[in-house]
Amino acid sequence: MKRILVLFFLCMEILWCTACNKSNGEKYKEEEDTTGTTVIVPEDPALATSIGFFMTPWSARRFTAPAYTTATPPSAAPYKVTVDASQITTKISPALFGNNSNPYMTQMVDQSKLMDQLKQLPTRIIRFPGGNISSVYFWNKQPGNPPADAPAQLTDADGNKIDPGYWYGGNTAEWTLSLDNYYRMLQQTGNEGMITVNYGYARYSTAANPVAAAAHLAADWVRYDNGRTKYWEIGNESNGTWQAGYRIDVSQNKDGQPQLISGELYGRHYRVFVDSMRKAATEIGKEIYIGAQLLEHEPAIWATETDKRWNSGVLQQAGNTADYYIVHSYFTPYNTNSNPQEILASAATVTSAIYDHVSTSFTANGVAAKPLALTEWNIFAVGSQQMVSQVAGMHAVMVWGELIKNRFGMSSRWDLANAWENGNDHGLFSQGEAASGEARWTARPAFFYQYFFQKFLGDRGINATVADSNANISAYASTFSSGEVGVTLVNRASMTRNVTVSFKNFNPGAKFYWYVLTGGEGVTGFSRKVFVNGAGPSGISGGPDNYKELDPYGAAAAGGIKVSLPPMAVVNMVIEKK
């Protein structure tokens, strides 16, 4: 009898402990692998509010073992990275990998090399018309034919009269991108759009009701779009002194608007746009999401009064009307000759700071959190061709890893093509200017870093921890729905790091596979070249022409998951499950 009672209480203790674990939020089911070792298969966490509807097109990813080139891992790998597969941090939003197009990068659809590269890179979302041009863009007009209430001159931040430089969606000249060809480009490359409507027009229009005129123009675009685009945003950096509509000529304004923009004014106008655009969407039976602009950080002491009160003004007026909120960030100090370490460090610090600042703004203004979209991002570093270097590619990989960790809903990098400007060029592809020495549409290093990062990225984020905080290694991990683990390692150091990857709650299978991406000449500095598993570009910049056919390295997992990270290298790997 005594033995029976002891067994009874032991069983009750086990049940109680299990209940404690589950009540503390540890949700899981147990599976037994072929070796008899119990592995916890964690449940997906609740959908983060900061991601929201951007997760809707998510789909499971399944990894198929590739052909590979046999490689020998290092025998000694003292740096330790631990991947914990016992808890899913988030399902990965498919909207995180977007980019920006613009109206000065040709008609696109007749550029076969560019179109092929866009088909290969799973960008998924391409924003348009993007940038400051949005504030002077008339989607339904022909060149030289602006609306009658668009003034012949605009007022700049200092009160000077300037040429407005209007842009037109009906422009079919070879050098520009028409609206219809933007739509064709999306269809042919398998991407969807994000459209920035002209908010500046609500400020500088000379109509009796300029806000209604601008909102009606946006609503008509929704009707013309006819459900092709789900994501819309009102204006681009409308707080900025550089933006059309920041300052207006009040003598031409007919609804009593102030000379300078404010967050409170933008928020009130935002509601007018939303009413008109949602009415249009309802008429055509489509669902759209409309974003409002916020600032990504606390304004500096020298910032404009507009900036200092922007977030509070927008949130108090737009409140819960907004479907999502938009921020922009160029990560590094403006027009500064930042070194590689400064650029790479910004990926983690700035991303988390953006999330924290926006969250604090929600709380301070009593507004419910909404999905968060980083619709423009890149680096502002200049002077050493940083933007066209392999460091920009490393930075892109790290930003995506940090966006996943911080549960952002959407992001789009700036931009597909820009202007050379001695290497201060944000373009993912070259426009082929003679000074660059590149052929038109040569892919810059960042393209290859993005391509191979996504190639070995799963569909759910998990935690990865670097044991030595001084190792200058960043680690990001994911799982595939088919059970494999993906790991990306970034070596920010100027010396080789041999790394051992160990696991919690995951039993490696027979093999693992990896790609190694390194810079060209001067790999510890800025290089316009990237080499993938030793294969490099045929010209002075870019990456291997045969990137689509490159096999990963492969090795048996029995001796441990060990890999050598050259200086300033990125390694993308997948480890088979047992």
pLDDT tens-digit series, residues 362-421: 999 999 999 999 999 999 999 999 999 999 999 999 999 999 999 999 999 999 999 999
> Which pair of tokens denotes residue 421?
């400007």
Q: Which residues on adjacent β-strands are paired with residue 570?
A: 490, 517
Place of tokens 């988030």: 90
State the pLDDT at residue 522: 65
> What is the per-residue DSSP string for 188-237?
HHT-EEEEEE--THHHH--SSSHHHHHHHHHHHHHHHHTTS--EEEE-SS
Classify domain 94-455 by CATH architecture: Alpha-Beta Barrel (3.20)
Pick 69-92+459-577's CATH classification: 3.40.630.30, 2.60.40.420, 2.60.40.1180, 3.90.1200.10. 2.60.40.1180
1 has pLDDT over 90 = no
State the pLDDT at residue 319: 84
Lowest-confidence segment of 6-15, 117-126, 377-386, 507-516 by average pLDDT: 6-15
pLDDT tens-digit series, residues 15-61: 333 333 333 333 444 444 444 457 888 999 999 999 999 999 999 99
Q: Of 130 and 160, which is predicted with more confidence?
A: 160
What backbone torsions phi and psi does residue 267 show, to the nearest 5 degrees? -60, -40
State the pLDDT at residue 130: 84
3 has pLDDT over 60 = no
Which of 345, 319, 320, 317 has its CA nearest to residue 331? 345
Measured from the Cβ of residue 56, the count of other Cβ atoms closer than 10 Å reads 13
State the pLDDT at residue 106: 98
State the pLDDT at residue 564: 98
State the pLDDT at residue 29: 47
515 has pLDDT over 70 = yes
13 has pLDDT over 80 = no
Helix-strand-coil percent breakdown of the chain, rounded to 5? 30, 25, 45
**3 state SS of 69:** strand
The CA distance from 392 to 32, in Å, is 43
State the pLDDT at residue 553: 98
The CA distance from 175 to 107, in Å, is 7
Q: Where in the chain is the domain with CATH 2.60.40.1180?
A: 69-92+459-577
279 pLDDT band, cuts 50/70/90, is very high
pLDDT average, residue stretch 538-550: 96
State the pLDDT at residue 12: 41
Contact predicate 201/217, CB 8 Å: yes
Full-prediction pTM beyond 0.85? yes
Which of 61, 83, 33 has its CA nearest to residue 561? 83
State the pLDDT at residue 242: 98
pLDDT tens-digit series, residues 131-185: 999 999 999 999 999 999 999 999 999 999 999 999 999 999 999 999 999 999 9
207 has pLDDT over 90 = yes
State the pLDDT at residue 36: 45
271 has pLDDT over 50 = yes
Instruction: Count helices and strands (H / E) in the chain.
Output: 11, 25
> Which pair of tokens denotes residue 456?
């070995």
Contact predicate 195/124, CB 8 Å: no
Q: What is the DSSP letter of 420?
A: -
Q: Which amino acid belongs to residue 225? A: D
Q: Within the chain, what is the greatest distance between any pair of CA atoms?
A: 99
pLDDT average, residue stretch 554-566: 97
pLDDT tens-digit series, residues 407-448: 999 999 999 999 999 999 999 999 999 999 999 999 999 999
Q: What is the mean pLDDT of the chain?
A: 93
Radius of gyration, CA atoms only, the chain: 26
Q: Where in the chain is the domain with CATH 3.20.20.80?
A: 94-455
